[in-house]
Amino acid sequence: MAFRFQSFPIYKEIRAFIKEIYFLSQTYPKKEQFELATQLRRAAASILLNIAEGSAKKSDAEFNRFVMIAIGSITEIVAILDISLDQKYITSVTYKSFIEKSESIARRLYGFSRKLTKKS
């Protein structure tokens, strides 16, 4: 059985982003591996998991609620990146790269949300 969410182009982009987030989180200091790095990974996974879960809902309005939660997770990632930069766990170049990717995903999720809202 094919799952609806796996055909969404945004799903593929988010999967690639998560892979990068996981790699980045492994570079955090040992003292942060069970704190900030874990929260970063959880927020990234939450984006994808909410898209998957929401796609199984019966209405586009319900699905949209999960898309909005996914947007909340991307904003959480941005806040974690801010903390990471301030603590010098990441460089400004890495920060800028991940912020740009986060903005791209957020824009696409907002667009997805608008489509779902028009359908409902």
What is the C-alpha separation between 101 and 106, in angstroms, rounded? 9
What value does the mean pLDDT take over residues 9-37? 94
116 band by pLDDT with thresholds 50, 70 and 90: confident
Cβ atoms within 10 A of the Cβ of 9, count? 9
Given a cut of 70, whether residue 1 has pLDDT beyond it is: no
In the chain, the domains with their CATH numbers are 9-119 (1.20.1440.60)
Percent of the chain, pLDDT > 70?
98
Q: Residue 8: which of 81, 116, 112 has the closest Cα?
A: 112
Helix (H) or strand (E) run with residue 31 in it: none
- pTM, to two decimals: 0.92
Tell me the per-residue pLDDT of 38-72, one tens digit each, with 9 for 90 and over. 999 999 999 999 999 999 998 989 999 999 999 99
